Structure 1
Amino acid sequence: MTTTPESASSTQRDEDAVRRYVEHLGLTLSQIGMQRMPARVFAALMTTDAGRLTAAELADQLSVSPAAISGAVRYLEQIGLVAKEREPGSRRDHYRLFDDLWYATFMKRDRMITMWRDAADEGVSALGEDTPAGERVAEMRDFLSFMIKELNDMYAKWHEMRAEKGR
């Protein structure tokens, strides 16, 4: 068993187990719809104690080409999961996950759901709420309105829970 401290923490990491977990998490994410390489890059960033990695470090860790990393991080940046940063005087970009990642991700989804709900509301107006199509679109609108309310309540609870844990 290889154990290497990745940070100042007193906890030792089994790097072979971490590599297997990165592949498992990447596979799981790809099975639920994320592209395979971005899923692996996301998993690698989730599991680094440093909190950030360069493209070269990601390529080395995942045994892939720099081009594969470039496409993956570009995709992850576009969907709002990863930030690119560069230290002054450095020529290397570092990639890191956003702070409060889950909240930020779902807030972006919340905006999309709101847009979808608003479009459904326009559809109800155009179709007429008493028509079969209008009833279907109204049900979609009502469900999306329900989701928005419930998600907002969940976000508030999440922040309360984090505050209780001191995060």
Structure 2
Amino acid sequence: MDGLAQAVERLGQVLEDSGIPRMAARVFAYILAEDRDRYTAAELAEGLSVSPAAISGAVRYLTQTRLVVRERRPSGRGDLYRIVDGDVWGTITRARIPILDHYVASLDEAVALLDSDSRGRARLVETRDFFAFTRREMADLTERWEEYRARQR
């Protein structure tokens, strides 16, 4: 097994252990570790030695979770997949902030529906407060990351 394949398998396993579906984890690891900027589904399938059908579900997951960007090929035939340009993890983290906003808003609505003295309501309030806190911290974290990244260059 060559270095790229080993790196993809190791990172893919870590991503899978953190909750990303196996094939999506492998595809994301491949896109991170391989040198090209953009990939067709056929190139991903060939690079990972898997079927195109396996790639289809993986890239669907990765685009829905904003880990990978899908764009049209200039020829108009088929799609290309890539990670976001430049600051991959900062961009991914910033893309999660609106999701946390949605959690907080949904939890606010759910809290309003329950009796003020119910245990379930108390758990939802705690959950809402956690996501509100996490959202604020993520926004601060991305700003600190940008400053750190600028200093490293």
Shorter-normalised TM-score: what interval? Answer: 0.7 to 0.9
Residue 118 of structure 1 pairs with residue 135 of structure 2: no
TM-score scaled by length of structure 1: 0.78
Residue 29 of structure 1 pairs with residue 23 of structure 2: no
Say which of 146, 149, 153 aligns to 1:162: 149
Say which of 104, 110, 128 aligns to 1:141: 128
Q: CA deviation at 1:91?
A: 3.8
Of Structure 1 and Structure 2, the greater helix share is in 2
Q: State the match for 2:138 in structure 1.
A: 151
Identity %: 45
Give unpaired runs (5+ residues) of structure 1: 1-14
SS of 1:52 mapped into structure 2: coil
Give unpaired runs (5+ residues) of structure 2: none
Structure 1 residues 127 and 34: CA distance shift in structure 2, 3 A? same
Summarize the alignment of residues 50-129 of structure 1 with structure 2, pairs less than 5 Å apart. 50-89=36-75, 91=77, 93-99=79-85, 100-129=87-116
SS of 2:81 mapped into structure 1: strand
Structure 1 segments (4+ residues) deviating >6 Å:
none
Deviations 1:104-156, CA, capped at 9 Å, x for gaps: 32233222222222222233333344443333222222222211211111011
| Root-mean-square deviation over aligned CA pairs | 2.2
TM-score scaled by length of structure 2: 0.84
SS of 2:39 mapped into structure 1: strand
Structure 1 residues 23 and 159: CA distance shift in structure 2, 3 A? same
Structure 1 residues 87 and 114: CA distance shift in structure 2, 3 A? closer
Structure 1 residues 18 and 126: CA distance shift in structure 2, 3 A? same
